[in-house]
Amino acid sequence: MDLHDYRRQIDQIDKELLDAFLRRMQVAGEIADYKMEHDLPILNKQRERDILAAVEEQSGDMELYAHRFFANLMELSRSYQASRIQKPTRLIQTIEDSCLTADAVFPKHGNIAISGVEGAYAQIAADRLFPRGSLQFLPNFESVFDAVEHEEVDYGILPIENSSFGSVKGVYNLLQEREVYITRSTRVNVQHELLARPGVRLSGITTVYSHEQAIGQCSKFLKELGDTVRVIPVANTAMAAKMVSESDEPGAAAIASHDAGQLYGLKTVRSNIMDTANNYTRFVVIRKKPLVYPGANRVSVILATEHRPGALYDVLSMITALDLNMVKLESAPMVGTDFEFVFYIDLETSVWEHGTLELLAALERTCPFFKYLGNYPEV
Distance CA 217, CA 194 (A): 13
Distance CA 238, CA 121 (A): 8
Distance CA 185, CA 376 (A): 7
Nearest to 136 by CA among 119, 111, 154: 111
List the 207-210 sheet strands across, edge first.
230-233, 207-210, 252-256, 193-196, 267-271
Helix (H, G, I), strand (E, B) or coil at 300: strand
DSSP string of 240-254? Answer: HHHHHHH---TTEEE
Catalytic amino acids?
A: 281, 283
End-to-end CA distance of the chain: 57
Nearest to 353 by CA among 75, 83, 107: 83
Beta strands 193-196 and 280-287: pairing type? unpaired
Q: Is 268 exposed, middle or buried (0-12, 13-18, 19+ CB in 10 A)?
A: middle
